[in-house]
Copies of this chain bind each other. A is one copy, B any other.
Amino acid sequence: MKKDFECTQESYAREILREKGLKSTVQRLAVVHVLHTSGKSLSVGEIHDGVKGILGTTGLATIYRTLEMFEDLGIVKRLHFPDGGRGYAFSQGDHVHHMVCVDCKGVFDFPECPVENFDYASVEKQGFIVRDHFVQLFGQCEKCAEAA
């Protein structure tokens, strides 16, 4: 099978898959490749198209299965758009937030956590225990800001 798209990100995915006893199929590696090289957030359909471009044919169900699994493994992150749409972005590393360009859907990592040093006093006063958070920034990348 074609593996001419192998690069750092595919190796990274391979390793995580092997650690968990999961198979590194061409479909899975193609999903990583498509997401990573696009550099932006893609819909399920766009990912499907991208993978079909590499492998010729691929079942849509496989894309769904792969994305769900990759999300659990922390390889991709699901993003939510104000219009209700969803996108997936490659997400190497554990705790990364994303900044999304609303024009080109470009995704840019954001290593510092904006919420990390936040004082949860007002919430904790009510008895809550904060366990996790979802943070996503919206804006414009340099290119799109200039074009506007």
Contacts and interface: CB of A to CB of B under 8 A. Distances in A.
Interface of A: 78, 80, 82, 84, 99, 101-102, 108, 110-112, 114-115, 118-119, 122-123, 126-143, 145
Contacts of A141: 126-128
B111 A122 contact: yes
A141 to B, nearest CB: 6
A36 B133 CA distance: 23
Given A84-B78, A114-B114, A108 B137 contact: no
A54 B99 CA distance: 42
Q: Which 7 A-B pairs have the closest CB atoms?
A: A127-B142, A114-B118, A132-B138, A131-B139, A130-B139, A134-B136, A114-B115
B138 A134 contact: yes
A102 B115 contact: no
Nearest to A68: B84
